[in-house]
Amino acid sequence: MRKLVVLGSTGSIGTQTLEVVTEQGDLEVFGLVAGSRVELLEKQIRQYKPKFACMWTKEAADDLKARIGDMDVTVLHGMDGIIELVTKEGYDVLVTAIVGMIGIRPTIAAINCGKTIALANKETLVTAGHIIMPLAKEKNVPILPVDSEHSAIFQSLNGEPKDRIKKIILTCSGGPFRGKKTEDLVNIGPADALKHPNWDMGRKITIDSASLVNKGLEVMEARWLFDVDIDHVQVVVHPQSILHSGVEFVDGALIGQMGVPDMKLPILYALYYPDRRPMNAKKLDLFEVGQMTFEKPDTDTFRGLALATKAGKVGGSLPTVFNAANERAVKLFLEEKISFLGIYELIEECMDKHSLIANPSLDDILETEAAVYRYIDSKF
């Protein structure tokens, strides 16, 4: 029986991971980590009975302890608590379902302990791929992608020679504003941007999908996961979200993975790889789909993708700047302190002001993130 630690158990991917645990019946939850949603974490603990739980703040941890005083669960808190949990013996797979660069240190710590990583945290590879991937190779630790697109690429590569890749085909729904031009986005508010046509996701990633920043992050992530140049990753807008991504090989063959838009499918695949398990969910009906369409992305209007491509090509510390600036910009947009188009403006401003570090250490990455936050916070 595989035992899991879920980092970010109260978020969208975390809750769906636990739904998979419930449906399958032969996975055990060893530990759960959450930010501030104490009430939900308490419900999860009572249902899945982990040995350990961790909250981000001491106050939240104390609240949780009081709520579950009748249970034999060790409650930890903060980054030290997360590191203590992910480095424990007694579990097999770390599901990194947390949003943000907070996922980097726990991922590195778990790799050093030989844990399999089910990766749903883009920022880990976007900012520290040059550290993570060599370390995983050294420790012989599998990095199993949970994002639907990267899982599709991973599945498409099964049994294929990786040195025969011509390009990665990374599909994109286009988000709620597909087809709109810059002038159409001037008065867009958070409520409009949170209406994704196909996927049920958290607020931050839904905004990133609307701006195509999310796709830019996925381009940079794919560069590290599949050891290809940025120029060999092609983004294709596919509004139906049926072809989740694919690979074109040197002989012209294109192999892709299709399915209904359901995050539990890539989660299930990562948790049981290399096996495939039955899933109690709607299956793809090609007659119902009828047709699939494909378009080029509009990078003039949706500049998040263009800025991400620039950051990925330059490399070094610039992807960290891109990611950190976007995190703050999305927060400001959701608070209605900047416009939707202001997200791009703030990212570009931070990138232009940055002094590049060519080969950043983990400390350099974390300080770069902090410097971007300080700069933006001083403006608002």
**Which CATH architecture describes the domain 315-380?**
Orthogonal Bundle (1.10)
67, two tokens: 């709520």
pLDDT of residue 194: 87
pLDDT of residue 199: 58
pLDDT of residue 184: 95
pLDDT of residue 281: 87
pLDDT in 10s for each residue of the chain, 380 residues? 999 999 999 999 999 999 999 999 999 999 999 999 999 999 999 999 999 999 999 999 999 999 999 999 999 999 999 999 999 999 999 999 998 889 999 999 999 999 999 999 989 999 999 999 999 999 999 999 999 999 999 999 998 998 999 999 999 999 899 999 999 999 999 988 887 666 556 788 889 999 999 999 999 999 999 999 999 999 999 999 999 999 999 999 999 999 999 999 999 999 999 999 999 889 999 999 999 999 999 999 999 999 999 999 999 999 999 999 999 999 999 999 999 999 999 999 999 999 999 999 999 999 999 999 999 999 98
20, two tokens: 């998979």
pLDDT of residue 99: 84
pLDDT of residue 228: 95
283, two tokens: 């299956």
pLDDT of residue 203: 84
Name 96's bridge partners. Answer: 7, 119
Please check whether residue 291 is in contact with residue 336, taking contact to mean a CB–CB distance below 8 angstroms. Answer: no
pLDDT of residue 175: 87
Query: Where along the chain do its domains lie?
Result: 2-145, 150-260+282-300, 315-380
Residue 66's Cβ-side half-sphere holds a number of Cα atoms within 13 Å equal to 8
Closest CA to 49 of 26, 25, 32: 32
- DSSP-derived letter for residue 360 is -
Helix (H, G, I), strand (E, B) or coil at 153: helix
CATH assignment of 2-145? 3.40.50.720
Distance separating alpha carbons of residues 21 and 319, to the nearest angstrom:
34
- For residue 289, give the H/E element and its range: helix 286-289
Examine domains 2-145 and 315-380 and report if their fold is the same: no
pLDDT of residue 198: 61
Please check whether residue 37 is in contact with residue 63, taking contact to mean a CB–CB distance below 8 angstroms. Answer: no
- For residue 155, give the H/E element and its range: helix 148-156
